[in-house]
Amino acid sequence: MADVQSRPFLTGVIEGFYGRPWTTDQRRRLFAQMQAAGLRCYAYGPKDDLHHRACWREAYSESACADLRALIDLCHAHDLRFLYALGPGLDVCYADPEDSVRMAERYAQIMALGADDVALLFDDIPDTMAQADAERFGSFAKAHAHVANEVFARLTKASPDLRFLFCPTPYCSRMADAALGGEGYLRELGEALHPEIDVFWTGPEIISATIDDAHARMIGDLLKRPPMIWDNLQANDYDLRRLFVGPCQGRPSHPEESLSGIFINPNCEFEANFIPIHTLGAYVSKGSAYQSLDAFSEALEAWLPAFASTGDAWTLDEVRLLAEIFYLPHEDGAAAQQLLEDAMVVASRPPDAWGEAEGRLREWHTTVVRIAVKLTELKNRDLFYTFNRQWWELREELELLTQYMDWRQSETPDERFFPSEHLLGTFRGGVVARLQGFLAMEPDGSIKSTHA
């Protein structure tokens, strides 16, 4: 394995999601947040930039170059490195030397604008090789390593200090176990890839609840270099109904001993990423002393000023509630856990057995309605737009629960409860909601057959 300490530990944020890229103003605030958090590198690779992926062979126009140069200068003004990512895997011909030349030319154009580092991404691409590529290389791993090595050699002649990152086709253990990219892809790649090229890795899963030291070392041994974590913990481009505002957690306790770096690929909605960025910085700086809940609380206090309002001032408890409702994909925040427990009690027991759950649920409803109003009064309208849709859905569900409790507690409840406002076709409606009703997912992640 390459020496972990041979180059600086790389930390930062990837703008690499599927969806509308962030605005110039949002990127300016991103860089300020990253600088304050002690992060080092911004990776530019939004899938919505056609030159990044779909039209990767096409150079940027003069006007687009001017915009990128301004972005790179803004990045450098905050003492951050600028990394440009290219994803040519949809239609590249690995056996065609001209495609490698085109890649190097595309990178050279951006480096001439001031970019510091580059990444070559072969993620989320077809798992079949063209005949010419199969005849030349025999495997995806050899083809990918050949192209990466060729481009790396061309670029480092002019920029020997360049950091070159690579994303493999199987970028998590589940993909590798399924032989995505071919049997033994990772081992073959590790042997063939130039040792100074870093390799992205997302962990056991695409969205990994935990990546421990043992897993990082195992992957490092396989790749013959410590992995560079592409962390999707707070990514939401696979389910835009959700937001993930929780902290960095469940990552190696000694990151600089088992990793070459860590980047987060966070929520598409920029305003939802303050806590992920803030806590990533705390994790990197504190290492084994990092405590995610402490970092979460510190980040909440730092985030509170963003909730400046034209109406009543937001409290820290209200911001905490917002964040704990939209926490992490594999874990709910403390407030959300209590809310779900109370709702389960009311939904599954008779009124005389509800106990304190009833009072808490009614208070939940009052609080959520109050915050829904306060969201509309935020001076930062992007912050309002980020949370309003999901918060309104929560409000509607709690309104329904309150009406249900009133019905259950009435003197002569009807046999069935028909809500007065939450009507069929206008509530929980749409094709997707109806599809979700056909195959219900069990708590263990399985889907039970509906056939006898």
Active-site amino acid positions = 124
Tokens of 315: 């409290």
The β-bridge partners of 165 are: 119, 198
- Check if the beta carbon of residue 84 is closer than 8 Å to that of residue 44: yes
- Check if the beta carbon of residue 338 is closer than 8 Å to that of residue 360: yes
* CA angle (215, 221, 223) in 5-degree steps: 100
How many other C-beta atoms are found inside a 10 Å radius of the C-beta of residue 89? 21
Closest CA to 43 of 121, 99, 122: 121
In angstroms, the CA 90 to CA 143 distance is 14
Query: What does the DSSP 8-state code read for residue 29?
Result: H
- Check if the beta carbon of residue 174 is closer than 8 Å to that of residue 205: yes
- Check if the beta carbon of residue 234 is closer than 8 Å to that of residue 17: no
In angstroms, the CA 427 to CA 273 distance is 29
- Check if the beta carbon of residue 89 is closer than 8 Å to that of residue 136: no
Burial classification of residue 344, based on how many CB atoms lie within 10 Å of its CB (0-12 exposed, 13-18 middle, 19 or more buried): exposed
Tokens of 321: 């509630």
Tokens of 197: 């090229």
How many other C-beta atoms are found inside a 10 Å radius of the C-beta of residue 88? 24
Length of the chain: 452
In angstroms, the CA 275 to CA 244 distance is 9
Pairing mode, if any, of strands 117-121 and 198-201?
A: unpaired
- Check if the beta carbon of residue 371 is closer than 8 Å to that of residue 318: yes
* CA angle (214, 216, 220) in 5-degree steps: 115
In angstroms, the CA 256 to CA 250 distance is 15
Chain center to CA of 42: 14
277 SS3 class: helix
Tokens of 414: 């009807």
